[in-house]
Amino acid sequence: MVHQGLAKAQSKLGNMFGSGRGVAHNDNEAARWYKKAADQGFAEAQCNLGLHYVAGRGVTHSHEEAARWLRKAAEQGVAEAQSYLGIMYWDGLGVKPNDVEAAKWLKKAAEQGHARAQCNLGAFFGEGRGVAQSNKEALRWY
């Protein structure tokens, strides 16, 4: 199936190489399979490829490439990608720092139950970064 271009199978193979399940751990192979699936628009693979670019695992470290792939996955509703993209806007990694954009992406992930995004969104409300300061909202998200 992976050689027939089935994106989900390619992504799962990337997971196996990335974790060393059933095969020797190989970040290069993981990134290669994620890229094949990501190029077909498979959101999970786009997220994983973006995370590989963040860490420089199997690919050359690049916050710009990470942000590009994470955005593709985030726009398809992947909470992990939304959370990371929010952090990238928060810290200005691969994108221009923008608290409003950071809060937007963190909120999307937080609303899906992503714990790290909920905590970070709480901090944004507590500090009034990109959103109106609100201790009530900060408490809600914490």
Q: Does 96 have pLDDT greater than 70?
A: yes
Q: pLDDT, tens digit, for every residue of 30-43?
A: 999 999 999 999 99
User: How many other C-beta atoms can be found within 10 angstroms of the C-beta atom of residue 55?
Assistant: 11
21 has a pLDDT exceeding 60: yes
Superfamily (CATH H level) for 1-76: Tetratricopeptide repeat domain (1.25.40.10)
pLDDT at 4: 62
| pLDDT at res. 5 | 73
Question: For residue 124, which of 111, 135, 113, 109 has the smallest C-alpha distance?
Answer: 135
Segment 65-80, tens digit of pLDDT: 999 999 999 999 999 9
Amino acid at 101: E
**What's the CATH class of domain 79-142?**
mainly alpha
- pLDDT of 47 reads 98
Residue boundaries of the structural domains of the chain = 1-76, 79-142
